[in-house]
Amino acid sequence: MVLWEYALVIFLLVLTVLVILLIPVVLNLIKTLSRVSELIENVNKDLPDILADISEITYQSSRASQRIHDAVDDIAAIERKVTREIKEPLIQAAASMGGFLKALQTFLTFFMKKH
C-alpha cells in the first residue's frame, strides 16, 4: 500500500467516526425543531385571542381614563362655582362685619368717653 492509500483509509475512518458522532446531534436537532414548530403553531393559534384581549384592555383603560378626566373637570367646575357663589359673599360679609365692628368700636369709644 502506498502512502496516499493509508491517508485515504485514515480519512475514511475519521469521516465514519464523525458521522457516527453526529447522528445523535442531528436527531436532537430534529426533535428540537419539531418542538419549536409546535410552539410556533400554538403561538399562532393563541395570538389572535391575546391581541383581542390586549385591545379590549386598552379600550377599557382609555374609557376609564376619560371618565377620570371628566370627573376631574366636574370637580374643577364645582370648585369654581363654589368660589364664585360662596367666597365672594363671604368676603363681602367679612367686609360688612369689619365695618360693623369699626362702627361698634367707635360707638363704644364715644360711649365710654361720656361716662
pLDDT category of residue 112 using cuts at 50, 70 and 90: confident
pLDDT of residue 115: 60
Fill in the amino acid letter for 22: L
pLDDT above 90 (res 69): yes
To the question of pTM greater than 0.75 for the whole model, the response is: no
Q: What is the pLDDT of residues 11-61, one digit of tens each?
A: 999 999 999 999 999 999 999 999 999 999 999 999 999 999 999 999 999
DSSP label of 2? -
pLDDT of residue 99: 81
Give me the helices (H) in the chain, please: 3-82, 88-114
Higher pLDDT, 2 or 87: 2
pLDDT of residue 80: 87
Coil, helix or strand at residue 115: coil
CA distance 47 to 86: 57
CA distance 34 to 42: 12
CA distance 93 to 80: 19
Average pLDDT of the chain, as a whole number: 89
Q: What is the pLDDT of residues 6-18, one digit of tens each?
A: 899 999 999 999 9
